[in-house]
Amino acid sequence: MQVIETLAEGLKRELKIIIPAADMEAQMNERLADVKDKVRINGFRPGKVPAGHLKKMYGKSVMAELVNEIVRERPSTILSERGEKSATQPEVAMTEDEAQAEKILNAEADFEFTLSYEVIPAIELKPVDGIKVEREVVEVSEDEVNEQIMKIAESARSFATKDGVAEDGDRVTMDYLGKVDGVAFDGGKDEDAELVIGSNRFIPGFEEQLKGLKAGDEKVINVTFPTEYPAANLAGKDATFDITVKEVAAPAAQEINDELATKLGLESVDKLKEIVRGQIESQYGNVTRQKVKRQILDQLDEMYKFEAPSRLVEAEFENIWRQINTDLAQSGKTFEDEDTTEEAAREEYRTLAERRVRLGLVLSEIGEKAEIEVTEEEMQRALYAQLQQFPGQEKQIIDFFRNTPGASASLRAPIFEEKVMDKLIAEVNVTDKTVTKEELLAEDEDGDDAKPAKKKAKKATAEGEEAAPKKKAAPKKKAAAEGDAE
């Protein structure tokens, strides 16, 4: 086999591979010899089929299998022998001339094909002990723990019927019928519906108009559906609701004690506080970690400046650009609404794509040098997390990861990256700084990686976070698309 380099520009490589016809024929004859004793051909005893006849009958098919095998397996061997890593799957090109292809299958011509690819650049790792990061830490107060417990306790709060009028915090049980232009709409009717005034579960203005009503009262409530309401047939529309109040109930006093803990399924108030404190600390810890990661990545970005493989950059850009356009379409906005132009946005997001790819390669090199591995157990946990997000679709998801080439990499990559980041955090110079929760959660405008222009989108870093704002979740309770008043 002869390997000739025909292109070496920057990271781009092109190789011409030539396998002499004699070598191809020799390999074909070996395979035909292997099947000689296995084939059954009328007129010949087993194992006595002449080589020429065997070649005439099966030569082309064996040669075709050989060609496919070479194209499938040799590229990785060739790159390994050259000490190169391809950024993406190398492109293989063979002759499209039917006459030439026929000669190759008949072992009358050399088998030639070309490999086109981009190499991953060699990265010389630099010491990271010069990286300095500030880790923001929030001290969780007893008041904050108690405040969170009271919010959780709302689900266990009991109510007692009262004779007076409805006030803030009271639960109103009612029948209602919603109408637009005097016509009832689907999903706008309910009986014995319960609503706590002040919970903001219904559309704006609805709950306020329940104040002052008592059991037996009837009233017509006037509201306007928000313009961004998910049910398009109701968005922005004026509507009325015919209300009949069935009961008004006042909330029982709520105290943080063992009784409340028992209602919530725990053995004591101390255990309840311990769990809630842990949840709050975990939430703050996640934000702190993201900010630390961003600082490390920003400094790595300054430390490593090299050409990133264009195919990887293009693929990353397409992912970002697709998400940006999806978000704009869903919000009904344009690039002009974000104080930019499509051309400027493209340039900015392409820069982001280059950063992501470059830092991704750096993190990969750090991980490889440190022999960081993702265990099978960690992969299983990641898969289980995916299954939990899509109940009822477990089989389809498992089949997808089992049958789709490269799909498992989407599970492995974030785990690998987090383990690399753990290593970096342990090695860089970290200084803790106590801050308030408001300071911790404040939007870091200067650290924003993805900004169409002055109105910045959510942070987007090399770790593959979304390059566009996440949309607010649809209203809870009944599906708004069904026309429910909530």
pLDDT of 20-72, one tens digit each?
999 998 988 888 877 766 665 655 656 555 666 667 767 788 889 999 999 99
Q: Which of the pair, 247 or 330, is modelled with greater confidence?
A: 247
Residue ending a domain, among 251, 272, 290, is: 251
HSE at residue 321, side-chain half, CA atoms within 13 A, is 17
Q: Please give the Cα distance from 68 to 71 (Å, whole number).
A: 5
The domain spanning residue 177 has which CATH number?
3.10.50.40
pLDDT value of residue 481 = 30
Q: What is the pLDDT of residues 149-166, one digit of tens each?
A: 988 887 778 899 999 999
pLDDT > 70? residue 482: no
Residue 109 domain boundaries: 2-118
The domain spanning residue 35 has which CATH number?
3.30.70.1050
pLDDT value of residue 338 = 87
Average pLDDT over residues 375-397: 90
Calculate helix-pair angle for 409-427, 269-303, nearest 10 degrees: 90
pLDDT value of residue 445 = 46
Q: Which of 193-207, 396-410, 423-437 has the highest mean predicted lDDT (pLDDT)?
A: 423-437
How is residue 263 written in tokens?
């209602």
**159, β-bridge pairs:** 251
pLDDT > 60? residue 479: no
| Structural domain includes residue 259 | no
| Structural domain includes residue 472 | no
The answer to whether 171 touches 194, Cβ cutoff 8 Å, is yes
Residues 421 and 318 in one domain: yes
Domain count, the chain: 3
What sign does the dihedral 14-20-25-27 (CA atoms) show? negative
pLDDT value of residue 92 = 94
Residues 177 and 302 in one domain: no
Residue closest to 33 by CA, chosen among 21, 50, 13: 50
Residues 287 and 215 in one domain: no
Q: If you average pLDDT over every residue of the chain, what do you get?
A: 85
How is residue 441 written in tokens?
């959660």
Residues 85 and 45 in one domain: yes
Where does the pLDDT of residue 467 fall: very low under 50, low under 70, confident under 90, or very high at 90 and above?
Answer: very low
Average pLDDT over residues 14-23: 94
Where does the pLDDT of residue 464 fall: very low under 50, low under 70, confident under 90, or very high at 90 and above?
Answer: very low
Residue ending a domain, among 251, 286, 319, is: 251
Q: How many CB atoms lie within 10 A of CB 35?
A: 12
| Structural domain includes residue 467 | no
DSSP letter for each residue of 123-138: ------TT-EEEEEE-
What torsion do the CA atoms of 300, 302, 304, 307 make, to the nearest 10 degrees?
Answer: 130
Residue closest to 239 by CA, chosen among 206, 208, 217: 206
| Structural domain includes residue 258 | no
Q: What is the pLDDT of residues 102-152, one digit of tens each?
A: 898 888 999 999 999 999 999 999 999 899 999 999 999 999 999 999 888
Altogether, the residues listed in the chain come to a count of 486
pLDDT value of residue 473 = 28
Q: Please give the Cα distance from 266 to 477 (Å, whole number).
A: 27
pLDDT > 70? residue 475: no
Helix (H, G, I), strand (E, B) or coil at 13: strand
Q: What is the enclosing helix (H) or strand (E) of 194?
A: strand 183-196
The answer to whether 136 touches 183, Cβ cutoff 8 Å, is no
Where does the pLDDT of residue 253 fall: very low under 50, low under 70, confident under 90, or very high at 90 and above?
Answer: confident
Tell me which DSSP letter residue 274 carries: H
pLDDT > 90? residue 352: yes
Residues 271 and 199 in one domain: no
Residues 316 and 208 in one domain: no
